[in-house]
Structure 1
Amino acid sequence: MKYSLIILASLTVLGGCSPVGTQMRAWKGAPLNELINRVGAPSSVSADRGGYRLYHWYEDRGAVYTYGGMVNLSCDRTIGVDDDDFIISVDWRGNCIAPVDSPWARTNDTQSIGVSQ
C-alpha cells in the first residue's frame, strides 16, 4: 500500500511534464471538430463560470498490476472551447496514459489548423 501511494503521488507531481501534458497542449488552438473526429464524442458537456463550454472525456481502464501493487487507471480530460469552437484550455485528472499511437496524439499534418500556441 505504501508503494502504491508513492507511485500515485509521483504520477501527480510529474503530470505537468508528462507525455499526456504534451499531447493535451498540442490541441490548444485547434478546432473542436478536429478533436472529436480523432478521439470520438465526449462523455459530457458543461459550462464554466465565464460561459465557455467544457467538453469532458472520461475513461476507466480498470486495474493493472505494478511493482507497488494494483493501480486503477482512469483519466478525465477536459477541453475548453471559445464561441468559435476553438480549443482554448486543456486539463486532465487521474493517471492518464499517453501511448504514441493514442488518438489524443495530435499529428503534425493537422497542427497547421487553428491559432498558434
Structure 2
Amino acid sequence: MPGQLEHVNYTVRDAVQTAKWLCELFDWQIRWQGPSLNDGHTVHVGSKSHYVALYNHGTPAPSQEDNYATIGGLNHIAVTVDDLDDTEQRVKAMGFTPQNHADYEPGRRFYFHDHDGIEYEVVQYD
C-alpha cells in the first residue's frame, strides 16, 4: 500500500476558532484537542482518516514572507467537496472571499484566504 497523508500541522492565531469554522464549512469533527509544545494549544480537526492539526502559541508572529517564494512555506491546503457551489456560498457567508475560480480536467476549483492569511483551495471532481 502506498503511503497516505494523515495530517498537516500549521500555526494559526486561534486554534479553537479556526477549528470551529473548518467544522462548519467542511462538516469535519474535532478529533482531539489539548496542550502542546511550548505551552501552546492544538486542535485536530477533520475526518476519521485525515485531519489538520491547528497549533497556536501565545502570540505567534505573522508571516513575513511570501509562502510561494519561501522554501518550506505553506502555499495552500486543498479540500475536496461534493458540491462546490454550495461550499462557495458557505465560504462567502463566513466572510471569506472566493477567488481564482477555474475549471480544469478533471474538475472545478476556487481559492480563499482565512483570517490568518492561509490559502485554501476547494475542489470538486467530476
TM-score by length of 2: 0.37
Which structure has more relative contact order (CA 8 Å, sep 6+)? It is 1
TM-score by length of 1: 0.39
Relative to its length, the structure with more helix (as a share) is 1
